[in-house]
Amino acid sequence: MDPVILLIVIISSYLLGSISFGTIIMRIFKPGESLDDLEIKLDDRPEGYKLMSVGGNTVSMKLGARGGCAVGLLDILKAFIPTLVFRLLYPEQPYFLFAALAAFIGHNWPIFFRFQGGRGISPFYGGLFAIDPIGAVVVAVTSLVLGLFILKQVIIAFLGGVFLAVFWFLFTKFNDPLFWYYMGYVVLINILFFTAMIPELRQDREMAKKYGRPDPSAALQAFPMGQHMLRLMKMMGMEKKPKPSAGSNTTEAVEPAQKNSEE
């Protein structure tokens, strides 16, 4: 590899990844409002899950599902585009893997926004779609099924694909000349991803100790993008209705999110 080209790849991809579309869109459509005070409340729990990152799910709480999806798509593209460009320009070199990794880092720790960004799910899948589109679909669907229907944990449904990508590359890229670059990329992605997720993982563990695990459907209902996912699951006959609990006020808790979804 040419060190000059590698440096250009890393810097350009990092700077592109550092564009926080969630922050920018919020400043355009909801100037003066902050994303720092958002919480998801479930059932009759006195505490809510605090949203700690800037991304599609967080923005959807303020702008509805359409706004959240727009942010998610832009975050996917900012990793997909540089990864694809460098893969097409240098198909025999691993520059595209460095591009995907740098865009991911830029999203999580953006230089333009005091290194306060998202957690990387959208840019991860953006980069993975450019690297291996079949793999991106396989790990995403497997993660969703595993989290919602087998382990019944929403956090695994959303985050499991990052971990599953390790096994996908391990078994599908074994004979590829760039095998060790693939493995280095996906291992580093996992380390950085779970490092960024430490606040959420700690919060999830503490809430589970106090109140138990929430029903996946109830958790999805708490924010607009989750509500649209539930509608899609219902159309496919995959919906699992949440179990009602005594004194449950889930409907009241999600009313603001539902209003945003309709906007």
Distance spanning both ends of the chain, measured CA to CA: 50
Q: What is the reported pTM?
A: 0.79
Q: What is the pLDDT of residues 96-130, one digit of tens each?
A: 999 999 999 999 999 988 887 788 899 999 999 99
Query: What's the confidence (pLDDT) of residue 181?
Result: 97
Cα separation, 119 vs 108, in Å, equals: 5
> Which residue from 174, 195, 17, 209 is spatially nearest to 98, judged by alpha carbons?
17
Q: By the 8 A CB rule, do 29 and 201 touch?
A: no
- Per-residue pLDDT, 113: 81
- Return the pLDDT at 197: 84
Q: Which two tokens stand for residue 173?
A: 């890229």
Tell how strand 39-40 and strand 49-50 pair up. antiparallel
- Report, as ranges of residue numbers, the positions in the chain whose pLDDT lies below 50: 242-263
Helix or strand holding residue 130 (H, E): helix 121-131
246 Cβ contact list (under 8 Å, min separation 6)? 44
**pLDDT at position 151, please?**
76
C-alpha to C-alpha distance for 130 and 103, rounded to whole angstroms = 12
The burial class, CB within 10 Å (0-12 / 13-18 / 19+), for 235 is exposed
